[in-house]
Amino acid sequence: MASQNGSVLMRVLVTGGSGLIGKAIEQVVMRDGEKREGEQWIFISSKDADLLDLEQTRAVFEKHRPTHVIHLAAKVGGLYLQMRENLHYLRDNLRINDNVLWTAHEMGVTKVVSCLSSCIFPDKTTYPIDETMIHLGPPHESNYGYSYAKRMIDVQNRAYFAQYGHRYTAVIPTNVFGPHDNFNEAEGHVLTAIMNKTYKAKRNNTTLNVWGSGKPLRQFIYSMDIGRLIVWVLREYDEVDPIILSVGEEDEVSIRQAVEMIAEALEFKGQIEYDTSLSDGQLKKTATNAKLRRYLPDFTFTPFREAVKLTCDWFVKNYDHART
């Protein structure tokens, strides 16, 4: 929305602004020149407001008076943390989401773009998964808490549209990775946990220990690509129905292939072991990006190998203050 004599016409509040995807959006908008005349962007973290608390949520909305919201804030973690804490993932994310959406309604926010995830789809399903299949069966038991909380965002969006006509919508990313991710070995997602493990195995001349068989398949998307796509959704996508943001089915790789690319990027030539006593989680969750392609047939994703190298380089350069 272009400005008229300098007035702010779109004030975007990004919850979860200090996280992996929030930082990517900040990079895209504030440093890569995507920000348009008449737009103001505000990136907040839990230090600005604990969104589990309705009063703090209201206070941060009153402070910034957003016209639009990109709602990223969530309790997020890798497979093994989710398996240990399904109840916390369920309760915390239900509360954060209800606080943000209800406060957005109270404050007259024009549009909210929230984040679901490709891991919330039914575990027993046909492939490829598409946006119409979210509620067609229970999610994988490893992360049902997070999955049901995320699914309720879709239900809430429909209810806000039916009762108030609000165009609140959601995106469904597959596995995202990139700079500013959580590289913690026990709690991070696979790629960044493995990057940290590989970095240490190389430094200490020890074996790289990969959890599970390495057979599961994933569609990994670079955080900067997700950042560009979410900015497009905020500006141009008018459906309440969610949209999958992912690389194509043909770009799916196995965990083993991803591990080998990380080893190559970090020049690790040591022993790699797969601990099959640990869960593989979902074997696959292949999603189609056909709906995205109908809107953006020419969008180009960063090639996976290049994105892995960029993330590894960022991690090594920022090791001392990365989330490890």
Could you say whether residue 258 binds ligand NAP (CB under 6 A)?
Answer: no
Could you say whether residue 18 binds ligand NAP (CB under 6 A)?
Answer: yes
The mark string for 80-119 relative to ligand NAP (x by CB under 6 A, - otherwise) is ----------------x------------------x-x--
Total site size for ligand NAP, rule CB under 6 A: 26
How far is 148 from 305, CA to CA, in rounded Å?
A: 33
Beta strands in the chain (DSSP E): 10-15, 39-43, 68-71, 111-115, 169-173, 175-177, 208-211, 217-218, 220-222, 243-245, 253-254, 272-275
Q: What values do phi and psi take at 259, rounded to 5? A: -60, -40
We find the least distance from the C-beta atom of residue 139 to ligand GFB, in angstroms, to be 10
Could you say whether residue 194 binds ligand NAP (CB under 6 A)?
Answer: no
**Residue 146 catalytic?**
yes
Contact 160, 166 (CB under 8 A): yes
Interior angle at CA 225, CA 219 and CA 226, nearest 5:
75
Contact 242, 131 (CB under 8 A): yes
Nearest Cα to 113, choosing from 166, 150, 70, 57? 70
Stretch that binds ligand GFB, among 74-82, 96-104, 154-162, 305-313 (CB under 6 A): 74-82
Q: Which amino acid is at 276?
A: T
> Which of 117, 198, 219, 289 contacts ligand GFB by CB under 6 A?
117
> Which of 12, 13, 28, 51 contacts ligand NAP by CB under 6 A?
51
We find the least distance from the C-beta atom of residue 271 to ligand NAP, in angstroms, to be 28
What is the binding site for ligand GFB (CB under 6 A)? 76, 78-80, 82, 117-119, 143, 146, 174-175, 189-190, 193-194, 210-212, 216, 218, 255, 280-282
